[in-house]
Structure formats: structure tokens, C-alpha cells
């Protein structure tokens, strides 16, 4: 069973940082590729990053490359998304999602965590 739970969102000033976490309250995350997707009000959903389970390969959207870093700690059953140099345009609800492999359609989604970048 897969029940993804995100945490770590909040209000941060421009230029600040946050670390988002994604866990699976229904079992292990280890066998899944985990991605992060965000959706801002009035905008389409945007895929940000993904990390594979088997080889740990990571992928990033151009909009966040160099600012966001995805990682996983299987011992803690957690995938992280480190957000640095945040901009007001990064304000959105951030979701983690699971699939068999990065690039595949996501099968499971969390409930999302709000990130607000504002002074």
C-alpha cells in the first residue's frame, strides 16, 4: 500500500530555503521512483524532479536545475527536495508522487504541502 505524505512546506522570504520530505505511511518507498510536482494557482501542474529507485539517477526541470536538489534516504524511508534560492514564482502546492520509473506516469500522489515565498 502506498500512502505518500509530504511535509516541510511553509512561508519563506525570497532567497530562502526549505527542505520538503516525502514518506510512505503505508510501507516502503524504496522500490519506487519518486518525483516532485508543483501546482500554482491558475497554472498547470509542473514536474520538477525525480529520483529512480534502482540506480538513484536524478532528473530536474530546467526551471529548478541548480536550485533544487532531490535525494533519498531509504533507511529513513524518505525522499527529500531541497529548495534553495527561492523566488516568489516558486509559490505553489508541492506534491510528491510515485511510479515504477522516472518518466512513467505517476501511480500514487500525496496530499501536497504549501510553499509560499514572500517578503
For 14, the grid coordinates are 525570497
For residue 55, what pLDDT is reported?
A: 85
Residue 57 pLDDT > 90: yes
For residue 107, what pLDDT is reported?
A: 96
Output DSSP code: residue 67.
Answer: T
For residue 1, what pLDDT is reported?
A: 84
Q: How confident is the model at residue 26 (pLDDT cuts 50, 70, 90)?
A: confident
Q: How confident is the model at residue 54 (pLDDT cuts 50, 70, 90)?
A: confident
More confident residue, 1 or 70: 70
- 3: three-class secondary structure by DSSP: coil
Amino acid at each position: 500500500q502506498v500512502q505518500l505524505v509530504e511535509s516541510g512546506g511553509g512561508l519563506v522570504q525570497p532567497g530562502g530555503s526549505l527542505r520538503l520530505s516525502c514518506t510512505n505511511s503505508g510501507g516502503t518507498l524504496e522500490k519506487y521512483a519518486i518525483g516532485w510536482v508543483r501546482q500554482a494557482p491558475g497554472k498547470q501542474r509542473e514536474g520538477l524532479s525525480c529520483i529512480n529507485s534502482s540506480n538513484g539517477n536524478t532528473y530536474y526541470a530546467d526551471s529548478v536545475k541548480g536550485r533544487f536538489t532531490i535525494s533519498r534516504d531509504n533507511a529513513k524511508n524518505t525522499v527529500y527536495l531541497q529548495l534553495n534560492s527561492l523566488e516568489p514564482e516558486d509559490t505553489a502546492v508541492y506534491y510528491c508522487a510515485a511510479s515504477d520509473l522516472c518518466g512513467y506516469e505517476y501511480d500514487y500522489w500525496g496530499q501536497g504541502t504549501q510553499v509560499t515565498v514572500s517578503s
